[in-house]
Amino acid sequence: MGGGNAWMISALFPPYVLRPFLVLAVMFAAWLLGCDMPAPTAVAAAIIATWVSAIVQTLWLDRKLKEAVPKADKQFDFKAWFAIALPLLVISCCEMLLQNADVLIISRYVEPTLVGIYFAAAKTMSLILFVHFAVASAVANRFSALHARGDQGELRELVRDAANRTFWPSLGAALVILAMGLPLLSLFGEQFAQGYPVMFVLVIGFLTRSAVGPAEFLLSMMGEQRRCAVALGVGAVLSVVLNFVLTPYFGIMGAASATAIAVASAAFLNCWFAWSRLGLADRIWSNLPFRVR
C-alpha cells in the first residue's frame, strides 16, 4: 500500500530498518536481563520485532490514508479482494522459496561447513539484487498510474528505462563483487574461498533477472498478478526439484546451478507474460542499438 502510493519511507522503513534494529534491541535487552543467547532467544526476538514493526507500519499507513483519502461509507468486496490478494500471497511465498530453498536442501546432503560456505557465497552475490528491488520500489506505482491514464507511450519509455536502470548497475555491481570475491569470502575464514566458484554460477541467474527489469512488479501493478504468480511458482518448483536432483551429485555447485536456472526461468516467464499480455518489452536487449531476435 505504501509503495503503491509512493510513500516509500512508510513502506520500507518499518520492515527494513526498524525490524532489524528491534531484533538487536530485544537481544540486547535479553542479554542485560541475564537470559541465555541460544537460537530460540533469537527467534523470539525476531517474532517480537516483526509484530512491532508490522503494527507500527499499519498505524502509520492508516494515518496517511485518512489524510489522503476522503471519508466515505465503508464497503467490503471480499471476493474481489481475495482474487487480488491470493496471487500476491503466492508471489511472496514463491519469492521466499526461491531465496531459501537451496540453503535448506543442501543442509540435508552436505556437511555444515559447506552449508556455511555456500550461504556466505550466495548471500554475498545476491547483494546485486538490491538494485532490482530499489528500482522496482521507485517505479512500481508509476507503472499503474500511467496504465490507468492510458499513456502507453510514456509507459513503454518507463519500462525501457527501468530495465536499463536495473541491468547496468547490477552488471557493474556484479563485476565488482566478483573481482573482490576472494577477499570478501576470506573475511569469514580461509576455507570460505571454496565458495568462490559458486558466485560465478549464481550471478548468471541474478543478471538474467536484472536483464528483464522489474517484470514481476510490472505484472502485479497492472492486474496481471496471476501470471506473475504462475511464473514465480514455476521458478520455485524448479528450484526445489533441481536442488534435490543436482545437490546430491554436485554438492554446492549443483545447488548454485539449480538456483540460477530457477531464477532465470522465472525471469523469462515474467518477461514473456509482460510481452504477450501487455505488449511491453521490459528486457534489456530491446534497448540495444541493434535488434536481437
Residues 28 and 127 in one domain: no
6-30 average pLDDT score:
86
Check whether 287 has a pLDDT greater than 60: no
Higher pLDDT, 292 or 89: 89
Check whether 119 has a pLDDT greater than 60: yes
Check whether 240 has a pLDDT greater than 70: yes
Residues 178 and 67 in one domain: no
Residue 281, CA distances (Å) to 28, 44, 289, 293 in order = 49, 45, 15, 12
Check whether 209 has a pLDDT greater than 60: yes
> Has residue 59 been placed in a domain?
yes
Q: What is the mean pLDDT of the chain?
A: 89
> Has residue 292 been placed in a domain?
no
Residues 117 and 257 in one domain: yes
Check whether 292 has a pLDDT greater than 50: no
Domain boundary among 35, 56, 75: 75
Higher pLDDT, 142 or 175: 175
d(CA 246, CA 242): 6
Total domains present in the chain? 2
pLDDT at 12: 79
Residues 56 and 185 in one domain: no
Nearest by Cα to 108 from 282, 245, 264, 226: 245
Backbone dihedral angles phi then psi of residue 36, each to the nearest 5 degrees: -70, 160
Q: Which of 112-121, 136-145, 180-189, 284-293 has the lowest mean pLDDT?
A: 284-293
8 A C-beta contact, residue 265 and residue 250? no
pLDDT at 231: 96
> pLDDT by residue (tens digit) across 91-105?
999 999 999 999 999
> Has residue 293 been placed in a domain?
no
Check whether 111 has a pLDDT greater than 50: yes
Residues 143 and 191 in one domain: yes
Residues 129 and 221 in one domain: yes
Check whether 290 has a pLDDT greater than 50: no
| pLDDT band for position 289 (cuts 50, 70, 90) | very low
Residues 167 and 196 in one domain: yes
Check whether 117 has a pLDDT greater than 90: yes
**pTM for the full predicted model:** 0.85
Residues 65 and 90 in one domain: no
Domain residues for the domain of 53 are: 1-75
Residues 27 and 111 in one domain: no
Nearest by Cα to 211 from 141, 281, 143, 285: 285
d(CA 129, CA 132): 5
Domain boundary among 12, 47, 75: 75
Residues 140 and 123 in one domain: yes
Check whether 35 has a pLDDT greater than 50: yes
| pLDDT band for position 288 (cuts 50, 70, 90) | very low
Residues 282 and 147 in one domain: yes
Domain boundary among 54, 75, 96: 75
Residues 101 and 67 in one domain: no
